[in-house]
Chains A and B, each alone.
Chain A
Amino acid sequence: MTNEQISTLFKLMLEYIPPTLKIFGFTLLYSIPLGMIVALLKMCKFKPVSWITNVYILIMRGTPLLLQLIVAQYAVPYIRMAKGCPAFLQNFLNGIDIKTDTYTFRMILVAFVLNYAAYFAEIFRGGIESVPVGQYEAAGALGFSRTQTFFRIILPQVIKRVVPASSNEIITLVKDTSLASAIPYMEVMYIAKNRFLHMLLSCRCSWQACSISYSQQFLHCFSPTLKRNSTIINKETELWLC
C-alpha cells in the first residue's frame, strides 16, 4: 500500500467522523434523561413497575448491543410475516421501508439509546441510593417539598457521585458507535473496513497497516479528550465531598 493510498484512506475516514459523532451525540442526549427516568422507575415503591423496569434492564444489559442493533434494523419484515400479526399492525409496518438511510439511523439510535439508558439507569440508581438518608431527613425537617428535596438537595449530590462511572460509559459509547457499521451504516469503521479491503485486493501490504485502519484510530483520539474533561469536572466537584 502506497503512502498516497493511506492518505486517501485517512481523508475518507475523516469525512465520516460526523455521522459517527451524530450517533454519539444523539445517544447521549436521549439516554441520560431516559436513564434517570428508568432509575426512578426502578426505585418505584409500586412493585410491578419496579419489576418491569428490572426486566428491561436485564434484557438490555444481558444481550449484546450488536444483536440489539440487528434486531432494531431487521425485525420489521419478520414481524410483518409472523402468523397472528394483527391487521392494523401489518398496515402500519407495510408503510415502513427499512432500506432508507433515515430508517437505519433512527433504528440505530433506538438501539443505542435503549441500551445506554439501561446502563445509565443503574449508575444513577447507585448514585441516588448512596446519598445518606439524613439528607432527606434534614431537607424534610427544613420544610422542603419532595420535588424541591430531589432537585435542590439530592440531584446535585448524585451528579457528583455518578461522574466517574458515567465518563467510563461515555468513553465506551464513542467506541461502540463502530458497531453501527454492521447494520450497515456509513460511519468511520464501515468506510475504513470497506475501503481497506479494496486496497488490500489491489496491493499487498503488511498486517501493521491493516491494524491501523481496522481500529478506529481517529475516533480513539477523542477518548483521551473526554477523559481529560471528566477529570476537570471531578476536580471541580471534589470540594463537595465530605
Chain B
Amino acid sequence: MAMLEVNNLSKRFGELEVLKDISFNVEKGEVVAVIGPSGSGKSTMLRCINQLEKADGGTINVCGTDMLIKNDKGRTVYADAATLRNIRLKTGLVFQNFNLFPHMTVLRNITEAPVCVLKQDKQKAKDKAMGLLKKMGLESKDKSYPCELSGGQQQRVSIARALALEPEILFFDEPTSALDPELTGEILKVIKELAADGMTMVIVTHEMAFARDVADKVIFMENGYIVEMGAPDQLFGENASERVQQFLKRFNS
C-alpha cells in the first residue's frame, strides 16, 4: 500500500516557481532519501506535504486519505479541516533546528501532544515517553530543559516527540544540518534503527553516504524538478545521469 502518493505537485512563491511537476510514491516501510543542491525545492516539497506551505497544483494522498485533490472544475483544493488534522496526526515531522518547546521539560515536550491532542491518559503518555527516551538513549534527561541538552540530544528528543503520536510516516527536514559530524552520527544511528524497525520515512539530507546506506529509494532534485529517482545503486552508480554524477563528485571531493 502506498503511504504517500504525490502527483504533479507544483508550488510558486510569487513569480518564482519552486516546485514543478513533482510526482513520486512512498510504499509502506520504504525509506526515501531526497538529495540535491540547496534551493532545489527539497524542503519546500516536504513542507507542502506537511501542510506548512500551501501547494498550488497537483494531488497529494497520505495513507490512503486524499489531502490535496483536483475537483470537478479542475481546481486544486484541500480536504476539509478535520481530514487535514487527521492526516497531520498520521505524519510526523522532524525539523532541521529541532523546534523543541523551550518552556517544557524533555518529558513534557514528548507527552504534551499525546495528552492534549489525542487526549491520552497522562500516566500512559508518560510511560510511553520514557520508553521512547530509553530507545533514544536519553532516559536520564527526562527532567532537563531543551537548552541544557546538546544539539544531538535535542534532535533525538524531537524524534521521540514525533514518534509519540505513533505516526505512520515520518518526515525529516535535514535532521543533521545543524549538527557537527560527531553528533550527526548519533542521529543517523537513530534513523537507521527506525528503518530497521520498518518505519516509513522520507528524509531530506545532505549526507550522501547515509542516503546510500539506508534509503530504498533516492530522489535527486534540482530547480524544482525531480531529475532522477531510483535505487541507491542506480543513482550512486555509473549509470546515473551526468548531472547527478557531477553533483556527487563535488560532494565526495
What is the interface size of chain A, counting residues whose CB is below 8 A from a CB of the partner? 22
Given A142-B113, A143-B88, A144-B116, A134 contacting B102 (CB threshold 8 A):
no
Contact between chains at A137 and B113 (CB < 8 Å): no
Bound Cα distance A156, B112 (Å): 14
Residues of B contacting A153 in the complex (Cβ-Cβ under 8 angstroms): 101
The 8 Å CB contact of A240, one of B85, B92, B102, B112, is: B102
Q: Closest CB of chain B to A147's CB: distance in Å?
A: 11
A-B contact count, CB below 8 Å? 66
Residues of B contacting A139 in the complex (Cβ-Cβ under 8 angstroms): 101
Is B50 located at the chain interface by the 8 A CB criterion?
yes
The 8 Å CB contact of A141, one of B52, B103, B145, is: B52
Contact between chains at A140 and B99 (CB < 8 Å): no
Contact between chains at A143 and B99 (CB < 8 Å): no
A237 to chain B: closest residue by CB: B103
Q: Give chain B's interface residue range (CB within 8 Å of chain A).
A: 20 to 34
Bound Cα distance A174, B99 (Å): 39
Residues of B contacting A203 in the complex (Cβ-Cβ under 8 angstroms): none
Contact between chains at B117 and A148 (CB < 8 Å): yes
- 8 A Cβ contacts from A204-236 to B: none
Bound Cα distance A156, B117 (Å): 18
Q: Closest CB of chain B to A237's CB: distance in Å?
A: 8
Residues of B within 8 A of A (CB): 50-52, 85, 88-89, 91-93, 95, 97, 99-103, 112-113, 116-118, 145-148, 158, 161-162, 165
Q: List 23 A-B contacts (CB under 8 A).
A: A134-B97, A135-B101, A137-B99, A138-B93, A138-B95, A138-B100, A141-B93, A141-B162, A142-B88, A142-B113, A143-B85, A143-B89, A143-B118, A144-B116, A145-B85, A148-B116, A152-B116, A153-B101, A156-B103, A239-B148, A240-B102, A241-B102, A242-B147
